[in-house]
Amino acid sequence: MTQIIRKVHVIGINSFEFNELPFKLQKLFIETENIAVPDSYFANIKLWAKNNAKNEKLFFASRSDNKLINWLKSQKSDVILFSRGDPLWFGIGRILIENFSKEELSFYPSNTCFQLAFSKLKISWQEAIYVSIHGRDSTKLIEVLKTKPLSLAIITDSKNNGLEIIQNNLLELNLENLYEFWICEEIGFKNEKIRKFNLKEKLPSDISNLNIAVLLRKEKDHVETDIPLFGLKDDTFKTFEDRPNLLTKREVRIQILADLELPENGTIWDIGAGCGSIGLEALKLRPNLKLFCIDKRIGSKELISENARRLGVSPKDIFEEDVNNLFNSNNINSLREAKRIIIGGCDKKTKLRIINELSIHMNCGDIVAIPLIDIQTIKDLRDTLKGNNFEVNLNLIQTYKSLSISEGIRMDPNNPVFLLRGRKLS
């Protein structure tokens, strides 16, 4: 068995004040000859030796690469390697474990930069999500941003314009109004700065390379004057975080509204309305329409009402009810007055019933629009529309968004949606 003749002591620090080290580590530093230090810490740690140690020390400028690993392996006596915060948390610890036996390594973690950042911001961090884009692409960051976490801390990479990538990703995903954007520079050190920036503005050039970003979600203050005429952003609508399928995405919604060829007057039914995004935007475009929304999910009426308030529109009625129950009660005459019908979230059997029962009351030129993700239901719905004297069109809507990554951009696909449209012939 090979005898271990030296140790690698990995010390995490959050300050360049020697006296802030625990006494045990001060003593270890004074007694250890070989010291590996990151470039950005080099001058400060050499001062520790000058002011506190009598013996000469051999310093190695660490860049966390193979040269560091080879240097560590070449040493015959104990070595100290300084790191930031906790070396085993997005730090060099993982690389060291891959290259040395556990018996050779000793770790002395300090507070992580994220712990310090949240303590300075006075925000609980127990629900926070953590991502590193240091030396990595931003794929993981994009995945996390799409889930809209309450708080997100990001280790950045100054070499790859990490802060600009974060800023661009938020803008590209239409999240710029959802988050406060904090940048914590040299957190825990003498030149510490914590600043909040506007995501829509260019970042200043004086930001330290030693930084992390923290995103804190805020409640958006919806003001009607901020809303465009057409093509509303997804974050205009309130939805349930755990039910993203309640919202029809902007690109699909635009096409549905175009295919509906909205009349100036008449009745429109949004069945399986979710958060009401299609019907409410239709009403915003054509304020004289009579909009009826129906969705059987608990809380849907309150959700649609809130989104109507945000858009400044007033649906004729909102039913938190299964459409089958409305048919069975036989007292909803407005269902039989519909000039436009959107059939969303319900099963195939219910969709077929809606077509069969309502088509006999529809007039020439009236339109049914059915967005679908299940290709297996298309044939039956198409045949039923044709059997009820509808001219039928089927389109596949597949869109991509550009997202910034360290190498430039990549195209990120949205889920494909089939749009089945029927126009009554007579």
| Angle at CA of residue 164, ends 158 and 166, nearest 5° | 100
Tokens of 184: 């914590």
Q: Is 326 exposed, middle or buried (0-12, 13-18, 19+ CB in 10 A)?
A: middle
Distance between CA atoms of residues 253 and 248, nearest Å: 6
Tokens of 294: 């129906």
Distance between CA atoms of residues 9 and 25, nearest Å: 10
Kind of pairing, strands 151-155 and 58-62?
unpaired
pTM above 0.85, yes or no: no
Q: Is 410 exposed, middle or buried (0-12, 13-18, 19+ CB in 10 A)?
A: middle
The single residue listed with the structure tokens 């029927």 is 422
Task: Return the CA Rg of the chain.
Answer: 30
- Go through the domains of the chain in sequence order and give each one's CATH number: 8-110 (3.40.1010.10), 114-217 (3.30.950.10), 224-424 (3.40.50.150)
C-beta atoms surrounding 303 within 10 Å: 23
CA distances from 193 to 5, 44, 407 (A): 43, 19, 29
Contact assessment for residue 20 and residue 12, using Cβ atoms and an 8 Å cutoff: no
The single residue listed with the structure tokens 């200043």 is 204
Tokens of 260: 């509906």
Instruction: Please give the chain's pLDDT, 426 residues, in tens.
Output: 455 578 999 999 988 888 889 999 999 999 999 999 988 788 888 888 888 877 888 999 888 788 999 999 999 899 999 998 889 988 899 999 999 999 999 999 988 888 889 999 998 888 889 998 887 888 889 989 988 888 999 999 877 788 999 999 998 888 888 899 999 998 888 888 999 999 888 999 899 888 999 999 886 555 555 678 888 988 888 887 666 667 888 999 999 999 999 999 999 999 999 999 999 999 999 999 999 999 998 889 999 999 999 999 999 999 998 988 888 887 677 777 889 999 988 888 999 999 998 888 899 999 999 999 888 889 999 999 999 999 999 999 998 888 887 777 888 888 889 999 999 997
Q: Is 57 exposed, middle or buried (0-12, 13-18, 19+ CB in 10 A)?
A: middle
Contact assessment for residue 131 and residue 152, using Cβ atoms and an 8 Å cutoff: yes
